[in-house]
Amino acid sequence: MAKKKKSVRREWTKEDIKELKAHSKARTPVVRIAKMTKRTKGALRQKAIVLGIGLGHQR
């Protein structure tokens, strides 16, 4: 049986939030932001909701 990888929570630094806001303004795809920041898409979306900003492509 495969072992589950334990998730490690990282705090959001001021630099992380600044970077997320910049990506929001530039409309960078969420998948690309996730790879660059090494965070999940869900974590990015949740933080964006808390900050009141949009992420990725909006229709």
**How far apart (Å, rounded) are the C-alpha atoms in residues 59 and 50?**
20
What is the tens place of the pLDDT at every residue in 40-56? 999 999 999 999 999 87
Name the CA dihedral angle for 10, 15, 18, 22, rounded to a multiple of 10 degrees.
Answer: -90
What is the reported pTM? 0.80
The alpha carbon of residue 38 and the mean position of all alpha carbons in its chain are separated, in whole angstroms, by 8
What is the tens place of the pLDDT at every residue in 5-34? 777 789 999 999 999 999 999 999 999 999
Amino acid 58: pLDDT: 62
